């Protein structure tokens, strides 16, 4: 979140493309012209050029019933075939697909031929477990090659994966399993994080415990051995991945599915307590992933070593670790652990070790690296890097410039990429070698993408003005729905400005050149270290604790993580005397971690007597944010009781 918008808008540093970079760049300015002249023709060309179709499509877009889009609908393809077999068939089987680095320092390099062979066996395994096209499979795993094998195997058999981030709690797993109606769950015993094995299987056992939550739809749990930690096994339900894989036939023919066949569901936070299952389909999604990965990251698959630090539990891991890079036949690095394990600067060691050329990370990590100082990256050889990317939240100009200077040797372009779980792929970004860069601005919609900033009535604002970000034309990788909730899909994204304009939920501003600066969410969604968290979801976790009467959560500006979670809690009268405020706060922080996951744990829990409310009973989060950020409290005239803020301040 930009701490100071005025600061941002007076940012005048500019970085023109380097002539040498431009000379060999994948993208060129002509892309914009071609897309402008014939948008649908442009997308059809991308879909034909970057994706292999079993049956070619003849129809590009059906938008006769917005917001329900169909892209390339009469074409058929297999997404996993596109990421694997076709590279092997084209003689590129020996190219490394994944350089995997485990946190303790173990590593494996896997070629396209090897990855294809593994996925074929895993596809046979899933079919053997009764998984058929359209079935849902939940994946709850650390970042190890088997996680990617599992995703691709699910895609290969036409089933739908729903990856649940490995840091999420048993409660979160269960609500996603139930919502998706998952038949199989793939997990690991544990994974390495911060120098220790962090167990995963116990959370799965707790999530599926019928005595606590009732019976679930999950019939089989497949467990990959990674952490070596002891795990409980439920007989008849749990199976070891290795045992199953050993029995599988090596061959598996990928069957083609329709372009609109569902590929995955990924749950993301919304403005209410219940996460939304964002649904993506096959042909359009893969086209968007491959097109953006190639052009935004200037991918030269024969020579580049690409690394996105995202976990597969987030959309960035889906589009820019799995589908985009593999569809494009890239060689990439994946790393299991945290940036500072066992030593600060582990990321830079990984870059040096593999000669990473393209690096994609979140501003929060860049700011954390800034804090520990430039000496740490300066002591590594980062000279292989030629392009840097940023995603997840606005990157403040100081962090941008530090990133370029210290990580990018003062020379690499930086692409600040704006997009969402819902958009499936990057929507707004500079094109390296083409665009003159402005630190702090995501800048321009990609060729083929139609973005605008509008006022509350949907009227486009002029240059130099701010408003709400919208996408005005459908795009191939757009979400196709919210799993099981069409009404919420239409209401959330397609109602504010009519059924054919996508409302993103972000505030934005156009500068005098018409370039776009993102200003953060306009709804009750917070952004902590680039992860989306809902205030409502954390509030509902808090009030589920017996000592809590009422709770309000705000995102407070935080130097490193962008925002941090601050909770204001009123205790039940009966409890208030039995615990100190410190004890209550500690118990509640742990409770949220247990209910949702450690990333949702409030930085601060303030025990208060009252919450500021309007006469209609709405909590005035704006005032709580003032308190949380240590500011002078703003206008309190609409409060039902104007003395409340005094009490909170003093309390």
Residues forming contacts to ligand 6R9 in the complex (CB under 6 A) are 268, 314-316, 391-394, 416-421, 442, 504-506, 518, 521, 527, 530, 532
Give me the least distance between CB of 473 and ligand 6R9, in Å please. Answer: 18
Cβ closer to ligand 6R9: 78 or 443? 443
Residue 545 in marked binding region: yes
Q: 543 labelled as ligand-binding?
A: yes
Residue 337 is labelled as binding a ligand: no
Task: Give the C-alpha separation, 190 to 231, whole Å.
Answer: 9
Residue showing tokens 């609908």: 73
**193 marked as binding residue:** yes
> Of 419 and 489, which has the nearer Cβ to ligand 6R9?
419
Q: How far apart are CA 12 and CA 441, in angstroms?
A: 11
Q: Is 511 marked within a binding site?
A: no
DSSP single-letter state for residue 76: E
- The torsion angle over the Cα atoms of residues 625, 628, 630 and 632, rounded to 10 degrees, is 30
Residue 634, CB-side half-sphere exposure with 13 Å CA sphere: 11
The distance of closest approach from Cβ of residue 396 to ligand 6R9 in the complex, given in angstroms and rounded to an integer, is 10
What one-character DSSP code corresponds to residue 301?
Answer: T
- CB nearer to ligand 6R9: give 1 or 80: 1
Q: What is the closest distance, in whole angstroms, from the C-beta atom of residue 446 to ligand 6R9 in the complex?
A: 13
CA distances in angstroms from 346 to 106, 194, 227, 380, listed in the order given: 13, 11, 20, 10
**Residue 72 or residue 306: which is nearer to ligand 6R9 going by CB?**
306
Q: What is the dihedral of CA 449, 59, 260, 133, to 10 degrees?
A: -150
In angstroms, give the least distance from the CB of 235 to ligand 6R9. Answer: 38
Which position has the token pair 């569902």? 262
Distance CA 116, CA 106 (A): 22
Place of tokens 């020996």: 94
Q: Which is nearer to ligand 6R9, 262 or 394 (CB)?
A: 394
CA distance linking residue 648 with residue 651, whole number of Å: 5
Q: Is 417 annotated as a binding residue?
A: yes
Burial class (CB in 10 A: 0-12, 13-18, 19+), 637: exposed
If the CB atoms of residues 116 and 563 are measured against ligand 6R9, the closer one turns out to be 563
Q: Is 271 annotated as a binding residue?
A: no
Please state the closest distance from residue 293 (CB atom) to ligand 6R9, in A.
Answer: 13
609 annotated as ligand-binding:
no
275 is in an annotated binding site: no
Min CB(143)–ligand 6R9 separation in Å:
17
C-alpha–C-alpha distance, residues 312 and 35, integer Å: 31
Closer Cβ to ligand 6R9, 277 or 505, answer by number: 505
Count Cα atoms within 13 angstroms, Cβ side, for 606: 21
Find the shortest distance in angstroms from Cβ 392 to ligand 6R9: 4
Q: How long, in residues, is the chain?
A: 651
Binding residues for Mg(2+): 543, 545, 548
Binding residues: 193-196, 316, 392-394, 416-421, 506, 521, 529, 532, 543, 545, 548
Binding residues for ATP: 392-394, 416-421, 506, 521, 532
């Amino acid at each position: 979140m930009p701490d100071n918008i005025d600061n941002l808008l007076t940012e005048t540093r500019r970085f023109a493309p380097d002539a040498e970079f431009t000379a060999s760049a994948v993208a060129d300015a002509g892309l914009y012209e071609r897309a402008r002249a014939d948008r649908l023709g442009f997308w059809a060309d991308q879909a034909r050029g970057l994706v292999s179709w079993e049956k070619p499509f003849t129809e590009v877009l059906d938008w006769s019933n917005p917001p329900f889009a169909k892209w390339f609908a009469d074409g058929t393809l297999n997404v996993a075939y596109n990421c694997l077999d076709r590279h092997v068939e084209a003689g590129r089987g020996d190219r490394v697909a994944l350089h995997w680095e485990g946190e303790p320092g173990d590593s494996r390099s896997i070629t396209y031929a090897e990855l294809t062979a593994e996925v074929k066996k895993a596809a046979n395994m899933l079919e053997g477990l009764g998984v058929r096209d359209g079935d849902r499979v939940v994946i709850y795993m650390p970042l190890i090659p088997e996680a990617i094998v599992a995703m691709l195997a699910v895609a290969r058999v036409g089933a739908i994966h729903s990856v649940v981030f490995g840091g999420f709690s048993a409660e979160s797993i269960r609500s996603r399993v139930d919502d998706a109606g998952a038949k199989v769950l793939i997990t690991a015993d544990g994974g390495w994080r911060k120098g220790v094995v962090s167990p995963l299987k116990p959370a799965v056992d707790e999530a599926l415990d019928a005595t606590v939550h009732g019976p679930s739809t999950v019939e089989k749990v497949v467990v990959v051995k990674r952490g070596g930690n002891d795990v409980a096994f439920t007989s008849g339900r749990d199976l070891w991945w290795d045992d199953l894989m050993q029995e599988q036939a090596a061959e598996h023919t990928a069957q083609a599915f329709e372009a609109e066949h569902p590929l995955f569901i990924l749950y993301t936070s919304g403005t209410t307590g219940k996460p939304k299952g964002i649904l993506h389909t096959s042909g359009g999604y893969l086209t968007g992933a491959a097109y953006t990965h190639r052009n935004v990251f200037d991918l030269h698959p024969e020579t580049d070593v690409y690394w996105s630090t995202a976990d597969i539990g987030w959309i960035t891991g889906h589009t820019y670790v799995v589908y985009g890079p593999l569809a494009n036949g890239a060689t990439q690095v994946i790393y299991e652990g945290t940036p500072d394990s066992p030593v600060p600067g582990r990321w830079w060691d990984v870059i040096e070790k593999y000669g990473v050329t393209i690096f994609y990370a979140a501003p929060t990590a860049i700011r954390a690296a800034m804090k520990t100082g430039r000496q740490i990256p300066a002591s590594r050889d980062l000279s292989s890097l030629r392009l840097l990317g940023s995603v997840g939240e606005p990157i403040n100009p100081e962090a941008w410039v530090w990133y370029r200077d210290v990580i990018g040797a003062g020379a690499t372009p930086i692409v600040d990429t704006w997009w969402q779980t819902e958009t499936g792929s990057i929507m707004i970004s500079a094109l390296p070698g083409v665009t003159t860069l402005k630190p702090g601005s995501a800048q321009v919609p990609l060729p083929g993408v139609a973005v605008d900033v509008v006022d509350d009535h949907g009227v486009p604002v002029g240059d130099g003005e701010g408003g709400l970000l919208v996408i005005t034309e459908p795009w191939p990788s757009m979400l196709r729905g919210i799993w099981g909730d069409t009404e919420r899909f239409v209401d959330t994204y397609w109602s504010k400005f009519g059924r054919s304009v996508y409302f993103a939920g972000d505030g934005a501003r156009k500068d005098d050149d018409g370039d776009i600066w993102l200003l953060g969410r306009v709804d009750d969604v917070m952004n902590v270290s680039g992860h989306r968290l809902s205030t409502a979801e954390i509030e509902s976790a808090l009030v589920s604790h017996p000592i809590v009467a009422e709770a309000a959560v705000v995102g407070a500006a935080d130097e490193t993580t962008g925002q941090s979670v601050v909770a204001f809690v009123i205790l039940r009268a009966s409890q208030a005397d039995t615990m100190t405020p410190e004890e209550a706060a500690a118990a509640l922080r742990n409770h949220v971690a247990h209910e949702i996951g450690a990333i949702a744990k409030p930085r601060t829990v303030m025990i208060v007597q009252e919450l500021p409310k309007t006469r209609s009973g709405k909590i005035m989060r704006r005032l709580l944010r003032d308190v949380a950020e240590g500011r002078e409290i703003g206008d309190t005239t609409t409060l039902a009781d104007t003395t409340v803020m005094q009490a909170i301040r003093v309390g």
